[in-house]
Amino acid sequence: MALSPSFTGVILAAGASSRMGRDKALLPWRSGTFLSAAIQALQRETELVIVVAGQNASKLEPVVYANAAFLVVNPHPELGQMSSLQRGLEEVLNRGRDAAVVTLVDRPAPDPQTIHQVKAAFLAAGDEFWAAVPDYQGRHGHPIVVGREMIEAFLRVPGTSTARDVEHAHQQHILYVSVDDPMVAVNVNTEEDYEKIRLGLTV
């Protein structure tokens, strides 16, 4: 990890949202959407934010640009989430940055203080730590903070791998950060899940 890493926000938003029946990125949330809330939360702790879209790129484009973020397209989202993560991390390196704060669009944005906490823990950790992952009551979630070493580890694996596979392969280099934010571990897959979250219940 560089002594003063330059952070980019990465939001993975290329999923088909097949179980939901509508694009989770565009679900109404507070005064905007899941996507706009995620962009705004990451912008407080990063120099720029990249949104990785798939076949939904044209639908997400207005929200991305209205919130001063950047859009990149994963041409093969059907390969799975790792292919989108790799597309986003390639763009991080292409833009001359060496660290990223990565989150998913299929859940409410984490509290900005949570992002700051995980990022600060990563910066304070020794060079043996390549990434920081939030932990809420024993459940790991997002956003994750990754340095150059972890970015390269993600880019080396096949696009059909999972982030969990890479995390387990480099367990000794992962810092788990205890946070008081249930949103980091929430999964919104159905309309019922969304309604619970909207009403302030946990999923």
* Residues 77 and 14 sit within 8 Å (Cβ to Cβ): yes
Question: Model's pTM, two decimal places?
Answer: 0.94
Helices 34-43 and 112-124 cross at an angle (nearest 10°) of 40
Tokens of 140: 């790991």
Determine the pLDDT at residue 2: 45
Determine the pLDDT at residue 202: 61
Give 122-168 pLDDT, tens digit per residue.
Answer: 999 988 999 999 999 999 999 999 999 999 999 999 888 899 899 99
Element (H, E) at 90: helix 81-94
Other CB atoms within a 10 A radius of the CB of residue 1 amount to: 20
Determine the pLDDT at residue 3: 52
pLDDT of residue 203 exceeding 60, the answer is: no
The stretch 34-43 carries a mean pLDDT of 96
Determine the pLDDT at residue 1: 44
